[in-house]
Structure 1
Amino acid sequence: MGATPTEAAAATNGREPSRLRGNLGTMQLFFTVLAFNAPLSIAVGFIPVVVGVGNGLGAPVAYLVAGALFLTFSVGFTSMSRHLPNPGGFYAYITAGLGRLVGLGASFLAILCYYFMLIASFSYGGLVLTVLVGKTLGGPDIPWWVWVAGLAVVVSVLGYFKLELSARVLIVALLAEICLVLLYDAVVVFTGGAEGLALDSFTPPAMFSGSAGVGLLLAMCCYGGFEASIIFREEVRTPDRTIPRTVYMAVAFVTCLYVFTAWVFVQAYGPGSVVDAAAADPTGSVLASFEHYLGRLATDLVTLLLVTSTFAAILAGHNILSRYLYNLSVDRILPKFLSAVHPRHGSPHRSSAAVTVLNLLGIAPLVIFGADPTMLYAVLFGIFGYVLIVLLLLTSIAIPVYFWRNSIRVSRWKSTIAPAVAFVGLLVGTVVATANIDVLIGGTKTLVMGTFVLVYGSILAGIGLALLYRQKRPETYARIGRQ
């Protein structure tokens, strides 16, 4: 989407344009969404957990069900994207459907969601870089937080420029890790696995083995990045066509990749051994499997590509969160200073810099108090997964309400049936997540209660602020949701 004449004139005269600009096509947006999901990180760090802690041999089915749920959610989601031109992501969608009070509450929740994802990913990235340099390459033992600072600087620089530059970097990083995962899958299949190829994973006993609910919950947490398809609306070429196409492509691709790789992992160890191996050492079991089927060099390559995979996820998350700060500043919820658009790059450069500062401020106390980056990643990513499901649940409610309130004529399948099915699935996911929050974040009762207070307190804080604006600053209240 190019600059309008007004924006072009503003840039020429040295004034900042009033809106973001970009020219993202389908493939660039597709890889941006995919980067947030970090396929290699999911293969190494999440699939074995679904096998070991979730429903064991039935892990591929957990991913299949989760994929079907998100494809169903996509029906109403993409239909709404064609009728709602407002930028702002879930913030705009939930406001348009459920009103400004809930909308602002949801925006605070979304900021919390992506902030925790970024802190978790930075921690993991610093840890993986320490292993890569110190052990794999035999270099100096540099503290993890030094690598985090380096990652933050690189991401900040890329976030300053136009979004297309980030997209090009993401495409290169993603292609490499996807090729490695597919190579592993192919070698295991062609060699017949440990006990010969079998379809035991797709039988009813396997589907409901172990903790099927926990398995589905963990699988659902691997479908982040949904919002990337709409949060960049102002920077996408022909968004009414590009966004729906990208959403379906991304969900279909990651579902196929997750289902197939989970099944391959089961075959790599054999149905009789895989659950015990995954439960004993989730990440170690995958790395050992890569080494067995692809050789020692492959495990070193996995370590290297885990760095690029994590970096890609951080960059995608950084760009999403910077757009959230930008949209809230345009609505005057946050200081107007953050709504500045770079006259040349069309990027929210000040909001991007603010995200970098917030990331460093979030990491600093963790370093000072000697927090374990491995534990940080597990806890914070678990909180991110829980918040993401709650956000998706709110969006699934907002979609049919939006169509009903605005009397928009679309098929009943798009406006009611598909959103209703998605709502039921996400409601079940939220209930299961709430009941198993200790498994999701792996923490004590104090941490669990703190998580609930933080999550639902952020929603209430947003609602309270919206009520205050309605009374004291009605002009700001009217702008909520990029109205």
Structure 2
Amino acid sequence: MTEINPSVRADSTQEASKRLTGTLSTTDIVFTVLAFNAPLSVFVGFIPVIIGAGNGLGAPTAYTAAGALILLFTVGFTAMGRKLPNPGAFYAYITAGLGRPLGLGAAFLAVISYFFILVGGYAFGGIALEALIRDVLHGPDIAWWIWVLVLMAVVGTLGYFRISLSAKILTFFMTTELIIIVCYNVIVFATGGAHGIPTEPFMASNIFSGNVGLAVLFGIVCFSGFEATAVFREEARNPERTIPRATYIAVIMMGGLYALSAWAQIAGIGVAQVVHQTATDPTGAVLASVTAFMTKTVTDIVTVLLVTSIFAANLSTHNVTGRYIYSLSVDRIFPAALSAVHHRHGSPHRASLVTTGISVLFLMGLVLAKVDGLTIYAVLVGIGGYALIVLMLMTSLAVVGYFRASTEARTSLWKHTVAPIAAAVGLIVALILATLNVAVLVGGDQVLAASLIALFYGSVVFGVVYALVLRRRNVAVYRRIGRQEV
């Protein structure tokens, strides 16, 4: 990259020199992370898939194991966050622990993976909204991708304003989702399920049955977005306390909720029928169980909330993606103009607009290629989750490297060495299992699976090479990589 043009610096003046600010509370950030995961979507979409196509009756244990691994990762992640004030999450942490070249490679991988998850989530939202309007509300039959453009317009508008507005909307939607899920779980367990409360999910023969690799991969994907707590560091109230607290709460809530919900679905549908029914019609099996235990009216409410759940996930993912673009712009990797902060809303409004624009172009390219919405959702969200496993592995190694190099920042041995190394080992196993099952994740297409994996690892290599070029040609920009202001 050549030297920054002075006119670009002057053009940014006041706005670009500002930094994001805010007063997000622990609750605000927790619900933003939960929104990224769309709990109701996990409840009616991912959990039955793990039961039907993963490790069957062992699904609750798969979620417990995935949650334990993420919690182990969180120990080092939050410990580093307390010592490293740089915002930027994976980007900043990997830079600080493994060096600027790998840090920039990780940033490019993160941006690509978040765009995959964002556009995939939009496609799912368009399909759900189309079905709601046409089948439930008996409205006009409008193509799913047109509804996606509507969603993008609304999300892009909210992303332009102060993050506290998005946080309030996400908190409302997440509260309604959690009430429905918790009520279903309580009713199923209180009434004894279809044929009593089963203990089969905790038998070793069931835990390791079916496709364990797919179950682990999907289980980890359901936790994606928890690292976004660190992305909002600049906009958090008392970030040294708020960010770690929000991260732990989000991970524990998701782990407990998903494991209990998987057990409740097995109990509600019945041990003898649940694997077959969820394999044949994952969403239909769950909704039928909701009707059986909570009436058809509640099922209709769930159908509506599924749309709002996906919308909330899209809004959360948009905000995270925009802040990655903002961070890379602050470091002058992307154009400096995108680091502007709105004078009134305190938002990265230009980065948000670019996020919307890229999403629209990405979606329209897929539509013109005649890729159906469900394929877009399954492939992009699934493979985006694969990339997040790679990023978590790099971050675990970065934690060890950071504390080894910064002796004055060291905390307990458990936090700076033991937990991160244990998490790295678990993530290596998860990555191997995920790699072996990527083709399944993208519909069995080995060529597509290999191409997407090549894209991800290629983005890391490109970032490393680009950083090395900057080190030779533009030292000032190179030194900024990882939000390391100079």
**What band does the TM-score fall into relative to the shorter chain?**
over 0.9
Give the structure 2 partner of residue 10 of structure 1: none
Q: Partner amino acid for 1:315?
A: L
Q: Deviations over 1:136-182 (max 9, x none)?
A: 00111111111111111111111111111100000001011111111
Secondary structure of the 2:226 match is coil
**Which aligned pairs between 1:389-404 and structure 2 lie closer than 5 A?**
389-404=389-404
Give the structure 2 partner of residue 111 of structure 1: 111
- Displacement after TM superposition at 1:345 (Å): 1.3
Residue 414 of structure 2 is aligned to residue 413 of structure 1: yes
**Which aligned pairs between 1:50-449 and structure 2 lie closer than 5 A?**
50-407=50-407, 408-449=409-450
Partners of 1:119 and 1:380 within 8 A in 2: yes
Secondary structure of the 2:305 match is helix
Q: TM-score, normalised by structure 1?
A: 0.96
Q: TM-score, normalised by structure 2?
A: 0.95
Give the structure 1 partner of residue 459 of structure 2: 458
Q: Partner amino acid for 2:111?
A: I
Please give the alpha-carbon distance, in whole angstroms, between the structure 1 residues aligned to 2:227 and 2:162.
Answer: 19
Please give the alpha-carbon distance, in whole angstroms, between the structure 2 residues aligned to 1:369 and 1:234.
Answer: 40
What is the aligned-residue RMSD (CA, Å)?
Answer: 1.2
Partners of 1:16 and 1:343 within 8 A in 2: no
- Displacement after TM superposition at 1:191 (Å): 2.1
Q: Partner amino acid for 1:444?
A: D
Secondary structure of the 1:193 match is coil
Please give the alpha-carbon distance, in whole angstroms, between the structure 2 residues aligned to 1:211 and 1:361.
Answer: 36
Displacement over 6 Å in runs of 4+: none
- Displacement after TM superposition at 1:17 (Å): 4.8
Please give the alpha-carbon distance, in whole angstroms, between the structure 2 residues aligned to 1:103 and 1:476.
Answer: 13
Q: Partner amino acid for 2:157?
A: V
Please give the alpha-carbon distance, in whole angstroms, between the structure 2 residues aligned to 1:464 and 1:409.
Answer: 31
Partners of 2:51 and 2:59 within 8 A in 1: yes
Give the structure 2 partner of residue 4 of structure 1: none
- Displacement after TM superposition at 1:225 (Å): 1.3
- Displacement after TM superposition at 1:287 (Å): 1.5
What residue ranges of structure 2 are gaps of 5+ in the alignment? 1-12
Please give the alpha-carbon distance, in whole angstroms, between the structure 2 residues aligned to 1:164 and 1:463.
Answer: 35
Please give the alpha-carbon distance, in whole angstroms, between the structure 2 residues aligned to 1:16 and 1:81.
Answer: 25
Secondary structure of the 1:317 match is helix
- Displacement after TM superposition at 1:83 (Å): 0.2
Secondary structure of the 1:272 match is helix
Q: Deviations over 1:310-354 (max 9, x none)?
A: 011111100001101111011110001101011111110000000
What residue ranges of structure 1 are gaps of 5+ in the alignment? 1-12
Please give the alpha-carbon distance, in whole angstroms, between the structure 2 residues aligned to 1:290 and 1:432.
Answer: 32
Partners of 1:17 and 1:342 within 8 A in 2: no
Give the structure 2 partner of residue 18 of structure 1: 18
Partners of 1:29 and 1:229 within 8 A in 2: yes
Q: Partner amino acid for 1:114?
A: Y
Please give the alpha-carbon distance, in whole angstroms, between the structure 1 residues aligned to 2:277 and 2:62.
Answer: 19
Please give the alpha-carbon distance, in whole angstroms, between the structure 1 residues aligned to 2:170 and 2:425.
Answer: 34
Give the structure 2 partner of residue 471 of structure 1: 472
- Displacement after TM superposition at 1:445 (Å): 1.7
- Displacement after TM superposition at 1:16 (Å): 5.6
Aligned length: 471
Partners of 1:379 and 1:443 within 8 A in 2: no
Please give the alpha-carbon distance, in whole angstroms, between the structure 1 residues aligned to 2:307 and 2:139.
Answer: 16
Q: Which moved more, 1:193-202 or 1:18-27?
A: 193-202
Partners of 1:17 and 1:343 within 8 A in 2: no
Please give the alpha-carbon distance, in whole angstroms, between the structure 2 residues aligned to 1:328 and 1:213.
Answer: 34
Fraction of identical pairs, as percent: 51
Q: Deviations over 1:163-220 (max 9, x none)?
A: 1110000000101111111121122222211111122111212211212232122111
